[in-house]
Structures are given as C-alpha cells and as structure tokens.
Amino acid sequence: MKLNAVPASTGLSWVKLGVKTFFSQPLAMSGLFFMFMAVVSVLSVVPLIGTPVSLALVPAATVGLMAASREALAGRFPMPLLLLTAFRSGKDRARAMLILGGMYAGALLLVLGMAALLGPADGTPVPVTDGEVTPEAMRTAFVSQGMWVAMLAYVPVLMAFWHAPALVLWHGVSPGKSLFFSVMACWRNKGAMLAYTFGWVGVFILMGLVMSLLGAMLGGASALSFIMYPMVLFMASMFHTSIYFTFRDSFVTDEQNTPDTPV
C-alpha cells in the first residue's frame, strides 16, 4: 500500500460519486446513518461514560458506512450488519478499532475541553428566540474564542482520523501508524480535500436555499421545521456515503481495491 496523489478536481468527483451512490440506495444509506445516530443518542444520555463510549464508536461506525457505500456502488443492498463490520473481522481488528475509537474520543474531548475553557467567561448562553436562531445568536457564536480554537484544533484531529478506520480494518495498519498515514494522505491530496470540502459546502448551501423556499411555499417556520429534519438526515447520509471514495483514491494497493469484509 502506498499514498496516491490525485488532482484537485478529484475532490468534486468525490462529491458527485457520493451523491450518485447515495441515490442508488437512498433508503438503505439514510437508514444505516439513522441507526448509528440513534445508538449514539441513546448512549450519550448514560451518565459519565455515555459520551466517551459514543465517541469511541465513531471510527467503527464510519468504516461501517464506508463498507455500505462500497456495497451500494457494486449494486448490492447494504444490510444493517455492515455497521458492525469493524467487530466482525476478527478479534485483532476489533481490538485495534476499539483502541482507535478510544484515541478519537480522547482527542475530541480534549478539543471540547479547550473550547469550554476559552469560551465566554460569564457563561452567557447564546440567545435564542422562539426556537429560532437570530442574527444576534450567530454573532455571539462567531465571536466566541472557544469556538474558533475548537475549530482550528479539530482540523488536525479530523485529518488524523479521516482515513484511519479504513486503514486499521482493511489493511491491518496499527492505530498509531494509521493516524500518521491518514494525515500524510490528507496533506498530499490537500487540493482535492479542499475541493471536496468546498463542494459539500456548496451542496449544503444549495439545499438550505431549497428548504427555505419550500418552507415559504408551504407556510413558513412550522413547515420548514417539518421538512428540515429528514433533509438534514439525507444530507448527512449523503456526505458519509462519499467518504469511501476519498479513501479509495488516496491509497494504492497491489489489488487496487480494499479486501472484502464479511457482510
């Protein structure tokens, strides 16, 4: 296995492939993502250990969704058991994935801790009126020092864990080395990753405009809130569908593809 450099335009291709693959199996892909979010939500309410445990499962769920994307790309229906792919590939791979998950949980909690320490000293909450985010609320959020520190600190964390789950599961790379290779792959293909990021930002903005227009046509804020949640679910599922393609094209193996995993 070695790193593969791709042109910047490939980032937009990843976005297109994610959208196309999602719509080949929209119910399955959105259903799998919903199942993952439901498990995380339930775990998060458990006192003390709920949040760390739910965060530790993110890498395993990510590679499960990547496996589902590969199934959909091949024209097969992604089954729910794909979410457990990380724990059905042998004890060694499962242990490595849990270690990687623990590292992710620790890194993210550290970032959130930094944001909390550097947040507003007076603890003033973000003003929200009648359940709507006001311009004042947006200004308050964007001038928060803690938010900007968290965003900047999360970038290297995101780079380190972007490809790491697939490297651990599909190529047997150790958790520590997988973080290094993931950062190197993201940096080497930084043009494509930037195009990929801006491509999805454009898609999200476009869908936001569409939802606003639909809300206005159907009766305002109440209608918008009704259609917002399924649309957000679809958009998040679509985005996670595209992650597989960023990994597939960033590494080259002797087989030119990732090995099969049990379904």
SS3 129: strand
Residue type, 36: F
pLDDT, tens only, 222-249: 666 667 778 888 899 999 999 999 999 9
| Per-residue model confidence (pLDDT) at position 120 | 55
Where does residue 28 rank: exposed (0-12), middle (13-18), buried (19+ CB within 10 A)?
buried
136 vs 18, residue with greater confidence? 18
| Per-residue model confidence (pLDDT) at position 254 | 66
Q: Are 88 and 164 in contact (CB under 8 A)?
A: no
| Per-residue model confidence (pLDDT) at position 141 | 54
Q: Virtual CA dihedral for 247, 155, 119, 125, nearest 10 degrees?
A: -40
Q: What is the 3-state secondary structure (H, E, C) of 212-261?
A: HHHHHHHCCHHHHHHHHHHHHHHHHHHHHHHHHHHHHHHEECCCCCCCCC
**What's the token pair of residue 188?**
């080497």
pLDDT, average across residues 48-65: 92
pLDDT, tens only, 149-187: 788 889 999 999 999 999 999 999 999 999 999 999 999
- Tell me the domain boundaries of the chain: 2-252
Question: How would you classify the pairing of strands 251-252 and 132-133?
Answer: unpaired
Radius of gyration, CA atoms only, the chain? 19
Q: Are 141 and 147 in contact (CB under 8 A)?
A: yes
pLDDT of 131 > 60? The answer is no
Element containing residue 125 per DSSP (H, E):
none
Q: How crowded is the C-beta side of 121, counted as CA atoms within 13 Å?
A: 0
pLDDT band at 250 (very low <50, low <70, confident <90, very high): very high
* Residue from 150, 242, 247, 229 nearest 203 by CA: 242
| Per-residue model confidence (pLDDT) at position 185 | 96
Q: Are 125 and 118 in contact (CB under 8 A)?
A: no
pLDDT of 9 > 80? The answer is yes
| Per-residue model confidence (pLDDT) at position 122 | 43
CA separation for the pair 50, 37 (Å, rounded):
14
pLDDT of 259 > 70? The answer is no
pLDDT band at 148 (very low <50, low <70, confident <90, very high): confident
Which residues touch 64 (CB under 8 Å, ≥6 apart)? 32, 36, 82, 83, 84, 85, 86
Element containing residue 39 per DSSP (H, E):
helix 26-44
| Per-residue model confidence (pLDDT) at position 129 | 45
pLDDT of 252 > 50? The answer is yes
